[in-house]
Amino acid sequence: MNPETAAAPETGALPPLVGLVMGSDSDWPVMEAAADALAEFGIPFEADVVSAHRMPTEMIRYGQTAHERGLRVIIAGAGGAAHLPGMLASVTPLPVIGVPVPLKTLDGMDSLLSIVQMPAGVPVATVSIAGARNAGLLAVRMLASGTDDLAVRLRGDLLDFAQELNDVASRKGA
Ligand code: RP5
């Protein structure tokens, strides 16, 4: 699977609610965990490569139009000089979750610091280095915070999920 085909099987024809973007195809092995988490909760998403440095015009257009297209959360992953999450956050009203992708040098610290040190007024919810699964789960929680049918359904699913984690931890401790 790759970013372009990631959303197809699990989400059918439903319009995407989450935009899962990354700076390069090479980020996909890390970012795939976010796609998996969204799919586990039946969240329709789209996955795209939208590089802040190599395709800045498209990246800005993506951010400016994301809410108009029905997206409610953006998950953005990038490595190195990881400007994608912050740049998107500067042009969208949607919550942006940033995923620092580790590259061969600097162990992802460069990515983490590029994403987490945002100026006041332009928030990015940064997860851990390579923390794409938590990015997906955080997006699910954001979608679960409303009053619509999806939010109510997701709150139930999240409580079941938390109980399963608890049961697994109890078995390990036994
Ligand atoms: C960043 O540069 C991307 O997010 C990726 O993590 C990194 C390397 O990209 P490639 O050279 O592998 O395309 O912008």
Ligand 1 centroid – CA 132 distance (Å): 16
Atom of ligand 1 nearest to the CA of 101: 6
User: What pLDDT score does 1 carry?
Assistant: 57
Provide the residue-wise pLDDT of the chain in tens; the chain has 174 residues: 577 766 544 555 789 999 999 999 999 999 999 999 999 999 999 999 999 999 999 999 999 999 999 999 999 999 999 999 999 999 999 999 999 999 999 999 999 999 999 999 999 999 999 999 999 999 999 999 999 999 999 999 999 999 999 999 999 987
User: What pLDDT score does 22 carry?
Assistant: 98
pTM above 0.90, yes or no: yes
Question: CA 86 to CA 78: how far, in whole Å?
Answer: 11
User: What pLDDT score does 173 carry?
Assistant: 85
On whether the CB atoms of residues 84 and 59 are closer than 8 A, the answer is: yes
Cα 102 to chain centroid distance, Å, stands at 16
Question: CA 33 to CA 137: how far, in whole Å?
Answer: 10
Instruction: Name the burial class of residue 29, with classes exposed (0-12), middle (13-18) and buried (19+) by CB atoms within 10 angstroms of its CB.
Output: exposed
Q: Tell me which residue of 131, 114, 124 sits closest to 79, measured CA to CA.
A: 114
Pocket of ligand 1 (CB under 6 A): 22-24, 26-27, 51, 53, 78-80, 101, 103
User: What pLDDT score does 14 carry?
Assistant: 85
Angle (deg, nearest 10), helices 132-143 and 149-173: 140
**Strands annotated E in 1-158:** 18-22, 45-49, 73-79, 96-101, 125-126
Ligand 1 centroid – CA 145 distance (Å): 33
Only one residue has tokens 């992708």, namely 101
Look up the CATH architecture of domain 8-143: 3-Layer(aba) Sandwich (3.40)
User: What pLDDT score does 168 carry?
Assistant: 92
Nearest CA to ligand 1 atom 5: 79
